[in-house]
Amino acid sequence: MPVTPAQQAEIDEARRQSHPTMRATVPGMEAHLFTAHPVLDHGFIRVVDYMGDDAAITQAARVSYGRGTKQVTNDAGLIRYLMRHWHSTPFEMCEVKLHVKLPVFVARQWIRHRTANVNEYSARYSILDREFYIPAPEALAAQSTVNNQGRGDVLAGDEAARVLEILKGDSTRCYDHYQEMLSADGQAGLARELARMNLPANVYTQWYWKVDLHNLFHFLRLRADAHAQMEIRVYADAICQVVADWVPLAYSAFEDYRLGGVTLSSKAMECVRRMVKGESVDQANSGMSAGEWREFEGAIELN
């Protein structure tokens, strides 16, 4: 369960309140505020706070005194220009604070993004809930035979059932032992900071994560990508939807230049030029390695 009824009541109460402000607000983002968007089986993302909007980006780029009187079309053009030319600091003027509930093995990938502010739920201070990520049947994939860092076909039949049984059984058993060690009933009870080491990496943790838009786009570029592990990608996808409602002009530029765009090496660009001239180019005469050629073919959809 992503949120308990008591937690949902707190969220509902927070959403009933409003405060007058002279600061920029975005209707699309106000609609998201505090609401938990479910991700995976027990996880969520929810916006706790945000600062800035599309206009804050152009305002900083122009170093304006007020909100500026430029039309949306001018703002869209300027934001696209900034994105295209890697003029990134104006995007840092917007910030978002998220509350994220996620499995520990996903958190380990996420925390590698160092340019954010994080405060995690303390399992030294508090007892973790009995909540584990158990993949849905369609996510129970075999090891990929072509990519060491990826997955292949979905497991089926007895093998899928056996794997699920192991995952569920191990999670339950480990949590039972965690509770057994913590229990002070007739014994001293092991410290929480020690008992937690028995928990598997699919147990859920939570944190507040605050990041500026430039670094959020960097995170999304890497984690909403097809090469990212599915279990972190679904969080990135959920955040993408929120960002599209928050800063639609900036998100649209990001989608165009970063998410949907590709970077071509000088060798690849030379191949494109030769192809445009009608020359027959293949891996052997491209100057690229087999791996580079495969990715190049994929990028420009040669096949």
Residues assigned a catalytic role: 223
Using CB under 6 A, pick the residue from 182, 222, 244, 259 that binds ligand FAD. Answer: 222
Tell me the CA end-to-end span of the chain in Å, nearest whole number.
Answer: 44
* Binding of residue 258 to ligand FAD (CB under 6 A): no
* Binding of residue 213 to ligand FAD (CB under 6 A): no
Parallel, antiparallel, or unpaired for β 37-39 and 95-103?
unpaired
**Residue 22 burial class via C-beta count within 10 angstroms: exposed 0-12, middle 13-18, buried 19 and up:** exposed
When CB distances to ligand FAD are compared, the closest residue is: 114
Name the DSSP class of 33: B
* Binding of residue 107 to ligand FAD (CB under 6 A): no
Using CB under 6 A, pick the residue from 4, 74, 115, 117 that binds ligand FAD. Answer: 115
213-223 helix and 230-246 helix, angle to the nearest 10 degrees:
140
Considering beta carbons, is residue 42 or 210 the nearer one to ligand FAD?
210
* Binding of residue 124 to ligand FAD (CB under 6 A): no
What is the distance, to the nearest Å, from the Cα of residue 91 to the centroid of all Cα atoms in its chain? 18
CB 251 within 8 A of CB 83: no
* Binding of residue 119 to ligand FAD (CB under 6 A): no
Size, binding site for ligand FAD by CB under 6 A: 9
Considering beta carbons, is residue 37 or 113 the nearer one to ligand FAD?
113
Considering beta carbons, is residue 30 or 292 the nearer one to ligand FAD?
292
* Binding of residue 113 to ligand FAD (CB under 6 A): yes
CB of 36 to ligand FAD, least distance (A): 25
Nearest CA to 60 among 253, 266, 214?
A: 214
CB 160 within 8 A of CB 140: yes
Considering beta carbons, is residue 118 or 139 the nearer one to ligand FAD?
118
Furthest-apart CA atoms within the chain: distance in Å: 83
**Chain residues in the site for ligand FAD (CB under 6 A):** 112-115, 215, 218, 222, 227-228
